[in-house]
Chain A
Amino acid sequence: MSLLRKRLLTQPPMLIAILGTLIIFALVPLFIPRWGLFLLTVAWAKAILVLGIVFLLWGGLVSFGHGLYFAVGAYAVGFGIKVLGIREGLVLVGLGIIAGGGMSCLLGLLLARYRGIFFALLNMAFSMVVYALLLKFYRITGGTDGISISPPTLAGFMPSPTSLRLVHYYFTLGIGILSLYGAHRFSSSPLGYSLRAIRNNEVRVEYMGASVRRAIYIAYVLSGILAAIGGVLTAFAVGHVVPEYSYWTQSAEFVFVAILGGTGSPLAPLAGSIVFEFVRNYAFKLSPYTWQLSLGIVLLLIILFLPGGLWSLTKPFAHRGTKWILQLNR
């Protein structure tokens, strides 16, 4: 077969993987108990956020402040229900996107100029300012108590108290799959590759005629939107929003999940998020005084011995899959 034709045939089958993920997770509720469903819902919501973190990591940027957008999305739900009287989940998601997107469009103008530690620290500083704001203006934000969220209708459908968890799960799954697909398109797009090129060699990107700042800005805004969506979905699932969503340790948790899962594929954050939520849950139940220790050790081991994250464990299988496809087409 011609070299050129071989090139065109071996595009990684990401679409099949995403479809497979949809089917697997659509069927999962049949096999796991309700509390597991709750964990999965939260894991999916946060995985959407971590996709944004991964975009930035491709560009060599770490943000220790995405709790800001997470909180913006979550509190958008709170205000949307309390102040604007919105009762429909999809509208609230839209509100979250506008709030998160607006915020990131604004802050991104400043932050896209920075790299490395400064990028990380400035993001952190802004998220801590928001944290302080959420605490101070307690009359609107509820201060340390936060705002409790009564379940909205989802796509016009008001779930019964017994089916609430299940409906939340499928709602989150639906948005999650859409985000996965979007991330896949982004990852294989010129902008996605530009980000990775920027990480390697910013100067060359400029010499090629592309704007580094524009690429980083767009990635940042997208990450803000994804984080806000994650915040909205978490608010639905947990039923409560608190200022701690904007604290730096929450942001650090997101980065942790990104590293845990790896940055090699849009599916990696999902893997990382699920592992993280379940391990944390068990570790905490097992020993409330040592769950941070366990997380720290896991992160340490990943950094030292598995830099590509958990997802890099699938590499040998991806390789075999490609070879198999080539053979089929001979």
Chain B
Amino acid sequence: MDFAIESVNLTKYFGMVRAADNLNIHIDEGELVGIVGPNGSGKTTFLNLITGYLRPDHGEVRYKGKNITGLPPRTLAVLGIARSFQIPQLYFDLTVQENVLLALAIRSGEGGGFWSPLSNKNRVKEGFEILQQFSLEDYCDQKAFELPEGERKLLDIALSFAREPQLLLMDEPTSGVSVKDKFAIMDTLVKILRGRVTSVFVEHDMDVIQRYADRMLVFNEGKVIADGAPNDLFADSKVRKILLGKD
């Protein structure tokens, strides 16, 4: 039985620090998993290792049974893995619409075309629909750098979502987003993703995790110290001590 994503003895050192310590994690297709832990516990490192941004010192990453360790981000994107970033990675000089259109063009394999236009009717329509799903359609013509922080985050997620990935990894999707918008964004996202896309998101906000995640992985010092349903784990005093600093 192949897991959607699986890490086997995954280890990464930064000098003396074990950012990832023999991680054996598996996630099934369609799961919505939240990753939590104090700063420096290895959450982002784990994401970076899975998405090919870092090479592990030991161990393997498997995607649907296939060994994808150390493959470059580009290959992983083609395989159906997409990632959004803690600091929104956008094309700041392009308009919001152009950002999305480019993502769509690359997804449909036409990213290298140099004769047909980027803005063809179908693509514009599809791009517009995606922007509407993320409530960004009013910003269509604005350059990405003009967007406020929350909208930048949304666009960043929209761009990875435009790839129609089977596995979507999100690094702190609600950080920098106002409290008012946080739940609206997550409602939208989870509604689209649930059951269809395997989603893993790193979060600091416990409310978000509690509300949306089916399953929670607690990281600490490069290891996973707890794995289960969020409500169950929050009741555990050991977990609470690590996450919240209190009993």
Query: Touch between A and B in complex, CB under 8 Å?
Result: yes
CB distance from A153 to the nearest CB of B (A): 31
Q: A197 is contacted by which of B51, B102, B115, B116 (Cβ under 8 Å)?
A: B102
Contacting pair B107 A209 (CB below 8 A): yes
Query: Which residues B64-92 have CB closer than 8 A to chain A?
Result: 72-74, 77-78, 82-83, 89-92
Residues of B within 8 A of A11 (CB): 119
Q: Which of A21-29, A184-192, A237-245 contacts B (4 or more CB under 8 A)?
A: A184-192
Say what secondary structure dominates the interface of chain A: helix
Residues of B within 8 A of A208 (CB): 77, 102-103, 106-107, 111, 159, 163
Contacting pair A196 B91 (CB below 8 A): yes
Contacting pair A207 B89 (CB below 8 A): yes
Query: Which residues B20-35 have CB closer than 8 A to chain A?
Result: none
CB distance from B48 to the nearest CB of A (A): 12
Contacting pair B163 A196 (CB below 8 A): no
Contacting pair B97 A7 (CB below 8 A): yes
CB distance from B70 to the nearest CB of A (A): 14
CB distance from B196 to the nearest CB of A (A): 19
B180 at interface by CB-CB < 8 Å: no
A-B pair count, CB < 8 Å, reads 114
Residues of B within 8 A of A204 (CB): 89-91, 159
Residues of A within 8 A of B72 (CB): 206
CB distance from A87 to the nearest CB of B (A): 33
CB distance from B84 to the nearest CB of A (A): 9
A189-B118 contact in complex given A4-B125, A4-B128, C-beta closer than 8 Å: yes
Please, what's the 1-or-0 string for A208-243, where 1 marks a CB less than 8 Å from any CB in chain B?
111100110010001000000000000000000000
Contacting pair A4 B124 (CB below 8 A): yes
Q: Which residue of B is nearest A198, CB measured? A: B91
B114 at interface by CB-CB < 8 Å: yes
CB distance from A291 to the nearest CB of B (A): 34
Residues of A within 8 A of B115 (CB): 185-186, 189
Contacting pair A197 B125 (CB below 8 A): no
20 A-B pairs with CB atoms under 8 Å apart are A7-B97, A189-B114, A190-B105, A190-B106, A190-B114, A193-B98, A193-B102, A194-B111, A194-B112, A197-B91, A200-B91, A200-B93, A206-B74, A207-B51, A207-B77, A207-B83, A208-B103, A208-B111, A209-B74, A210-B112
- Please name the 8 residue pairs, one residue from A and one from B, whose CB atoms are nearest each other, closest first: A209-B77, A190-B105, A191-B114, A210-B111, A204-B89, A197-B91, A188-B117, A200-B91
The interface of chain A, by Cβ under 8 A from chain B, is: 3-4, 7-8, 11, 185-186, 188-194, 196-197, 199-201, 203-204, 206-211, 214-215, 218, 222
